[in-house]
Chains A and B, each alone.
Chain A
Amino acid sequence: MNAKNESGGNIYRPYMMRVVDIRDEAPGVRTLRLEFLDEAQAAAFRFEAGQFGLYSIFGEGECAFCIASPPTRRGYIECTFREAGRVTRALMRVEIGETIGFRGPYGNVFPVDEWRGRNLLFVAGGIALPPMRCVIWNCLDRREEFGDVTIVYGARTVDDLVYKHELKEWAERPDVNLITTVDPGGETPDWRGKVGFVPTVLDQAGVSPDNAVAVVCGPPIMIKFTIPVLEKAGFAPQNIYTTLENRMKCGLGKCGRCNVGAVYVCKEGPVFRLDELRALPDEY
């Protein structure tokens, strides 16, 4: 089960996880903290930043989300989701103490070790901060290994910003440069952040490409307009990373749903460098 099953076994069988904490992040957006029911499974479980899993409610089905908590925090995993369909509606109804299923970790990883000594720029939009939160905290938990850390995060409205408590924490940290923004019209009277779309705000921030890597995640339209801003700033495609959110079912490179070009996003992805992405057909 899970990981590589060289010894056989049912690759579709999930781990059983207990919900130990629930946090509401934004309207319709919730984080679940999960612990393994089985202690041996908990001890053996390993993952790296960027990987995802299939979370399930028995009788409703499975849903793919990135693991939103960092591998540097052991003993639990977290997922953050927006209520949108049958499975996420059921996940919304789960209470602390109940069990859900989890298969994973699947997919490739952010090469965090390769980034040692470099400046990090994280750019996220809306519900795409959760897939990036894992790698952000992973790097912040190993803060001394990296140079400057800049986070640019935007959402439609102030209410839609997720992880508000953590945004506050990042804003207060002297070793993190956090820029938050909301779309025009989404601001509130007491909003202290920027107003504008993420690509514009990023452009105005004047980020430096020197010794830096950029990680971008957001809706396709945001990515489309953010990449040119980064390239204009001088970021080489090899230094720009993203994580694709293709629709997935199996997570195992079998069901065919996430196929783009010769890759299965669930296997060769979800993390891609821009130069790798450009070698693929424009179909994600």
Chain B
Amino acid sequence: MQTRGISKKNFDRLPEVLARAGRTVIAPVRNGEVVAFAAVGPDTAICLDEINTRLSLKEFFFPRTEPLLTFRRTENGIEMSDPAPTQGETIVIGARGCDAAALPALDALFNWDFRDEAYNRRRENTTVISIACNDCDACCFCTSVGGSPHNTAGSDIMLSETRDGGYLVEILTQKGEALADELADLLSEAPGEALPYAEVPVKFDAQKVRRALEENFDSPLWAELARTCLSCGCCTYVCPNCHCFDMQDEAGKSGGARIRMWDSCQFPLFTKHTSGHNPRPTQASRWRQRIQHKFNYYPQKFDCVSCVGCGRCIRLCPVGIDISEHLARIENEAPERPADHPNDNY
């Protein structure tokens, strides 16, 4: 890994220097109270002083809605086509380490056995320059899920703010190297000293939580934890790791598209069978699914938790549900496996 430095002045020139036909530069931009990722140009102010963007980086790899195929009705029947790539070369500036760290976890899902072409194309076309955190809020819990304010997983380049107002530049991957070569004139060989990283308190032990989850599928805790949940699905939409989707056709007389869109395991219809039978008929069972999937099933299947501790689901939950608090309660309060555990019988 190579390390360089970049001055604040040169950093501010990045959108201008990186601008090139066919390339999109994405960075956090303030719009009123909301800081969100948006395409930036030479005159856009990049906002790096927010704890995190309102929505995660996920949608630039796995869009909220996208056509999976398009079709036209012709005299000879249906003519199908693969949708043209909607996103060319992309450079993300200023993602938090947690958002970037969600990408390797999504890679596992979109590549096991069947490779999802559209997702992988966007991953290959995108270089992620993330920024380490010097500050956190009460909702951050990256350190409880194997991350840190300086988590380099999934990033191609990581920046850390230095005492002189510039940034330390850690070049982490080949894509990062290629970009650093392009920016060589802006980078210095002698980076300044990085400011101390944020101290994010550890709120639970993910290993212990996983064991507790394995033992407590039927715990009475679930009903209590989900009591105030509205089943609105907000947590899943703002989550950088949640990947569930629906597929629907949208068409007119001449043709249309088969599209996929984000969906949520928190919606009652998500699992409802045609017959009317619903394997998860209560909000307690759906909230349990979200937690079990992220902290028990996903680690079993893909060897990583499906959570990076970004805290968005906590910040934006309309009834103030704090998943980190729930996980701590599961770790500490979930009962030991009883002898006549229902799963022993069916």
Show the binding face of A for B, using Cβ within 8 Å: 4-6, 8-14, 16, 56-62, 82, 84-85, 99, 101, 219-220, 227, 245-247, 249-250, 252-257, 259-262, 267, 278, 281-284
Contact = CB atoms under 8 A, between A and B. Distances in A.
A227 B345 CA distance: 12
A10 B82 contact: yes
Given A60-B251, A256-B243, 12 more contacts: A11-B114, A245-B273, A247-B272, A247-B274, A250-B247, A253-B109, A254-B116, A256-B244, A257-B270, A259-B289, A260-B279, A283-B285
A103 B130 CA distance: 39
A252 B117 CA distance: 13
B297 A99 contact: no
B275 interface: yes
A82 B274 contact: yes
Interface of B: 68-69, 71, 73, 77-78, 80, 82, 109-110, 112-117, 217, 243-249, 251, 256, 258, 260, 263, 265, 270-275, 277, 279-280, 285, 289, 292-293, 296-297, 300-301, 342-343, 345-346
B279 A246 contact: yes
Contacts of B285: 283
A98 to B, nearest CB: 8
A58 B247 contact: no
Given A220-B277, A254-B245, A4 B69 contact: no
B114 A4 contact: yes
Contact of B297 (A85, A101, A257, A259): A259
B346 A282 contact: yes
Contacts of A281: 217, 292, 343
Contacts of B273: 245-247
Nearest to A82: B274
A27 to B, nearest CB: 16
Contacts of A82: 274
A61 B248 contact: yes
Nearest to A252: B114
Chain A residues touching B, majority SS: loop
Contacts of B251: 58-60
Contacts of A60: 249, 251
B115 A253 contact: no
A250 B68 CA distance: 11
A16 B69 contact: no
A234 B80 CA distance: 53
Contact of A9 (B117, B246, B258, B301): B117
B82 A5 contact: no
B249 A59 contact: yes
B297 A261 contact: yes
A255 B256 contact: no
B270 A16 contact: no
B69 A12 contact: yes
Contacts of B293: 256, 259
A62 B258 contact: yes
Contacts of A99: 77-78
A182 B246 CA distance: 37
A130 B273 CA distance: 17
B115 A8 contact: yes
Nearest to A90: B249
A254 B115 contact: no
Most chain A beta carbons < 10 A, residue from B116, B249, B270: B249
8 contacts: A8-B115, A58-B73, A58-B258, A60-B251, A252-B114, A257-B271, A259-B293, A281-B292
Given A11-B116, A247-B271, A254 B243 contact: yes
A247 B278 CA distance: 9
Contacts of A282: 217, 342-343, 346
A88 to B, nearest CB: 8
A62 B71 CA distance: 14
A16 B78 contact: yes
A245 B271 CA distance: 11
A204 B175 CA distance: 69
A40 B110 CA distance: 28
Nearest to A260: B279
A284 B279 contact: yes
Contacts of A249: 245-247
Contacts of A12: 68-69, 247, 258, 260
Contact of A58 (B68, B71, B243): B71
B346 A254 contact: no
B117 A58 contact: no
A157 B115 CA distance: 45
Given A61-B249, A84-B274, A284-B279, A253 B113 contact: yes
Contacts of A283: 279-280, 285, 289
